[in-house]
A and B are shown apart, each in its own frame.
Chain A
Amino acid sequence: MAAEAFFLPVAAGQRFCLYYAPAGETRAVFLYLHPFAEEMNKSRRMAALMSRRLAEHGLAVLQIDLAGCGDSSGDFGDASWQAWLDDIAAALDWLRVRHDAPLWLWGLRSGCLLAAEAARRTEVAANFLFWQPVITGRTFLQQFLRLKLAGEMLGGEAKGVMATLKQRLAAGEAVEIVGYALSPALAQGLESATLAPPNRPGRLLWFELSSRADATLAPASQKCLEQWQAAEFSVASAVLPAPSFWQTTEIEEAPALIEATLAALQT
């Protein structure tokens, strides 16, 4: 069955949503939280492929384009971390009215940071599916700012770019990076975001992808997973050999990730 596309009205406009109705009885519901800026475009195909498979297995999926992202109203430059958390709350309300089934927050990259923070703030009982999670917002922001640096270097003007960027953000000014205006509010929210576990334990499935067949979890990921375990989450993780589809030049698929995710959900 094809997804249902609609705009969810929110206080500050409308958010594009796709709802994949489950085949048969609803075993669980998934809220998909997309990654940042261009990573979202690159991974849209994989999100669609996974959602279709989940729906076939009786798992409902709601995808929401956050404020200023994808087809939603507003401009990326007006988005803030808080606005995104508000959007997630609205999406959870929409799901709650329709389903009384276990909830999964499914994040890709920085979407995982949003999932953890939304759950910590609302105390919603949730399980978590993390795809290539960003562990600290601070490092991620730094990497995003570096894209600007790379661009300037090609133009031969790299000197002091990073310092200037940070000064401008600190002075409350938006900066434009690879076509996206980044507001100070969004930069601050991202900078302070962490993957710390919420108080209400559940399940956590953690998948990373690597170009190497024998790759193992990075020490930072391992440490983060231990944190979730200590918070009494039931944790499972795997590293799969597959392309980094959120950043490849062409649109890539990672069928191994889809199959591994489905298999982990069956157990």
Chain B
Amino acid sequence: MNIREEPLRFACEGEMLFGILARPEQPAGLGVVIVVGGPQTRIGSHRQFVLLSRVLAGAGFPTLRFDVRGMGDSSGEKRSFEQITPDIAAAIDTLRTACPTVERVVLWGLCDAASAALLYVEATRDARIAGLCLLNPWVRSAATLAKTQVKHYYGQRLLQREFWTKLFTGRLNPFAALGELWRKLGQACARPEQPLGFQERMARGWRHFPGRILLILSGNDYTAKEFLEYAAGDASWRGLLEQNGVTRCDVPDADHTFSSQKWRNSVENACIDWLKRNE
């Protein structure tokens, strides 16, 4: 299907945001807003969001990707993913104005943008949001990081011959090495910080979200591992991954940003299949 790309400029709390709408020839009633997180712009690492938006529009789904306040070409001060709910709201309004056929919207986010999408639905209960497409959601705190490190790094190291050889031949200071492991264990077992952290608000957003969720996880990514650890161990996340309406897709070997065409294609195909099923 032919698509057309249009630059859009829209306001958010006194700042000017820039985005690109990929418009299909015959737009579906379902549109996509790509939320950008982390140190990225609407283009995405190695142009992932540009290429994704073209593929989604090619399948009939109008897709808007945009720079939040303080990022890329948009004006204003930089802010964290916990503070971009107004930016997401402005983008949804803009997509619906530019593409009046769009009635329902899917929020698509990678890493802390996935977290921002959950925080958006938690804060707004926006009835226009039909689905969430979440890739490698970000739940990091000192405790989750330490837990993942203990399990995936130290766990591996304890099984490695090299670690013990180094320890016994004195090339590794045993007190420092074991002290570090001990410290990490302490951090890993610490109680999560009070009051309601963003991770709990994400869980609440997920639990009460009436639409569909597509969870895409990279096989070779710390952030994804941390998310799984957290969701498995934290009370607020109990049962959420198994909840009705949740589809999980694992991309084996993929790194955090899907930095290869084959991994990007897996993501694109998974998204299109899921969007078509939820159209």
Q: Residues of A at under 8 Å CB distance from B?
A: 2-3, 5-7, 14, 16, 18, 37-38, 40-42, 44-45, 48, 52, 69-71, 73, 75-76, 176, 178-181, 248-251
Contact = CB atoms under 8 A, between A and B. Distances in A.
A6 to B, nearest CB: 6
B195 interface: no
A89 to B, nearest CB: 22
A239 to B, nearest CB: 25
A69 B264 CA distance: 17
26 contacts: A2-B9, A2-B75, A5-B8, A5-B73, A7-B7, A18-B18, A37-B46, A40-B43, A41-B40, A41-B44, A44-B43, A45-B72, A48-B74, A70-B43, A71-B42, A71-B43, A71-B50, A73-B5, A176-B261, A179-B48, A179-B257, A179-B258, A179-B259, A179-B260, A180-B46, A250-B39
B73 A18 contact: yes
Give the most central of B39, B40, B70, B257: most A CB within 10 Å.
B39
B49 to A, nearest CB: 10
A70 B7 CA distance: 12
Interface residues of B, number: 32
B47 interface: yes
B78 A38 contact: no
Contact of B45 (A7, A38, A181, A248): A38
B7 A6 contact: yes
B115 to A, nearest CB: 16
A46 B201 CA distance: 33
B119 interface: no
A101 B51 CA distance: 37
A38 B39 contact: no
A5 B20 CA distance: 10
Nearest to A4: B9
A40 B72 CA distance: 10
A53 to B, nearest CB: 12
Give the most central of A3, A7, A42, A44: most B CB within 10 Å.
A44
B39 A44 contact: no
Contacts of A3: 18, 73
B5 A7 contact: yes
A256 B50 CA distance: 32
Interface of B: 5, 7-9, 16, 18, 20, 39-48, 50-51, 70-75, 78, 257-261, 264
A181 B7 contact: no
Given A16-B20, A37-B46, A71-B20, 14 more contacts: A5-B73, A38-B46, A45-B70, A45-B78, A48-B74, A71-B5, A71-B50, A176-B261, A179-B46, A179-B47, A179-B48, A179-B259, A179-B264, A251-B71
Q: Which 8 A-B pairs have the closest CB atoms?
A: A179-B46, A5-B7, A179-B259, A2-B16, A44-B72, A251-B39, A250-B39, A44-B41
Contacts of A76: 46-47
A16 to B, nearest CB: 7
Contact of A71 (B7, B9, B16, B75): B7
B13 to A, nearest CB: 14
B73 A44 contact: yes
A176 B46 CA distance: 11
Contact of B39 (A18, A42, A48): A42
B10 to A, nearest CB: 10
A86 B264 CA distance: 29
A86 to B, nearest CB: 20
A7 B18 CA distance: 13
Nearest to B40: A41
Nearest to A77: B261
A233 B57 CA distance: 49
A45 B78 CA distance: 10
Give the most central of B18, B40, B73: most A CB within 10 Å.
B73
Contacts of A180: 46-47
Contacts of B75: 2, 48, 52
Contacts of B43: 40-41, 44, 70-71
Contacts of B258: 179
Contacts of B42: 71
Contacts of B51: 75
A44 B9 CA distance: 17
A41 B65 CA distance: 14
A3 B41 CA distance: 17
B157 to A, nearest CB: 16
B261 A181 contact: yes
Nearest to A48: B73
Contacts of A179: 45-48, 257-260, 264
Contacts of A70: 43, 47, 50
B89 to A, nearest CB: 19
Contacts of B5: 7, 14, 71, 73
Give the most central of A14, A70, A250: most B CB within 10 Å.
A70
A56 to B, nearest CB: 13
